[in-house]
Amino acid sequence: MTPSAQAGIGFTSLRSRARMVDALRQKGIRNEAVLAAIQAVPRHLFVDEALAHRVYDYKNVSASNYQAALPIGFGQTLSHPYTVARMIEILLDRRAQLGKTLEIGAGSGYQAAVLSHLTEEEVWAVERIAPLLARARQTLARIPEVRVRLELADGTLGWPAAAPFHSIIMAAAARQAPAELLSQLAPGGRLVLPLLSTDGKEQYLHHIERTPRGFTETRLESVRFVPLLSGIAS
Ligand code: SAH
C-alpha cells in the first residue's frame, strides 16, 4: 500500500472516531479526558479486518444488547464504546488520573488501551483465554504510545504481586465482587464492575470505593456482559 493510501485510512479513522466521540457526548458521556482517550485509540485495530468498518458505526454505540456487540473470537465480544466510556468515566470520577490500574478481562485489549491514556502509572490487564491474550499482545504492540502489562490469569484472583491498585475495572459479570479484588484496592481506590441481580436475570453496573472505614457500594444502570468464569483456558 502506498504511504498516501495509508495516510488516507488514518485520516478516515480519525474522522470516524471524532463522529463516534460526538455520539458518545450526545449520549451523555461528560468527562472530556475519557472522550479524548477514546479519540486517541485506533479501535479498528482490535477486531478482524473484515469487521473493522463496523467499529465506528455509531448506530452500534449505545446498543445495550451484547449480542449486537462485535465478536473478537472464542465467544467473547468487544465492548460497546458507550459501555467502555461510561465505565471508565465512573472509574475516574473526580480524579484527574486513574493511578495504578487493573483490568479483569482484557479481551481484545481495547479497553486497556483506553485506560492507559488516563494514567501515568501502569495498566495491568489479565485475560483467561490464552489465544485472545496473544492477539491482544500483538495488537497493543502496534500502538507504541500504549503501555499495558498483560498476563494470562484468572482475574478472580486479581494480580496480588502488583497490588494495591487505585482503579480496578472488570469486564465480565459476577454474582458478587471477588474478595481478592476488594483486598487489592488501595485506600480511596475504586472498583467498577457488572454484578448479577439476586435472581441472576439482570446485571447492573456497581462502583465500590475503599474508604478509611471499609467500602461503600453504589448500584447504577443495567448492563449486559459475558460471565466471569474461573480458571484459565488454553
Ligand atoms: N475489555 C474487553 C472486552 C472484554 S469481554 C475489550 O476491550 O475487548 C470480557 C472478557 O473477560 C473476555 O475476554 C473473557 O474471556 C474475560 N474473562 C472472563 N472471566 C475472566 C476471568 N476470571 N479472568 C480473566 N478474564 C476473564
* The pLDDT value given to residue 49: 86
Length of the chain: 234
| DSSP states along 194-229 | EEE-TTSS-EEEEEEEEETTEEEEEEEEE---PBP-
Cα–Cα dist 211/100, whole Å = 17
pLDDT digits (tens, 9 = 90+) for 155-203: 999 999 999 999 999 999 999 999 999 999 999 999 999 999 999 999 9
Tell me if 7 is assigned to some domain: no
Cα–Cα dist 15/42, whole Å = 11
Instruction: Give the distance (Å) from ligand 1 centre to CA of residue 148.
Output: 15
The residue whose CA is least distant from atom 23 of ligand 1 is 155
**Matching residue, cell 454474582:** 175
* The pLDDT value given to residue 58: 61
Tell me if 5 is assigned to some domain: no
Tell me if 13 is assigned to some domain: no
In this structure, what CATH number is given to the domain that contains residue 219? 3.40.50.150
* The pLDDT value given to residue 64: 46
Tell me if 17 is assigned to some domain: no
Share of the chain above pLDDT 90, in %: 78
Helix (H), strand (E) counts: the chain: 6, 9
* The pLDDT value given to residue 168: 98
* The pLDDT value given to residue 6: 46
Annotation says 197 is catalytic: no
**Matching residue, cell 498516501:** 4
pLDDT level of residue 1 (50, 70, 90 thresholds):
very low
Tell me if 48 is assigned to some domain: no
Question: What are the two backbone dihedrals, phi and then psi, of residue 111, each rounded to the nearest 5 degrees?
Answer: -65, -35
pLDDT digits (tens, 9 = 90+) for 44-91: 999 988 888 888 876 655 444 443 578 899 989 888 899 999 999 999
DSSP 79: P
Residue type, 41: V
Regarding the beta carbon of 56 and ligand 1, being less than 6 Å apart is answered: no
Tell me if 198 is assigned to some domain: yes
Instruction: Give the distance (Å) from ligand 1 centre to CA of residue 11.
Output: 31
Number of domains in the chain: 1
**pLDDT of 136 above 90:** yes
Tell me if 8 is assigned to some domain: no
Tell me if 33 is assigned to some domain: no
Residue type, 164: P
Give the structural domain span for 129.
70-223
**pLDDT of 3 above 90:** no
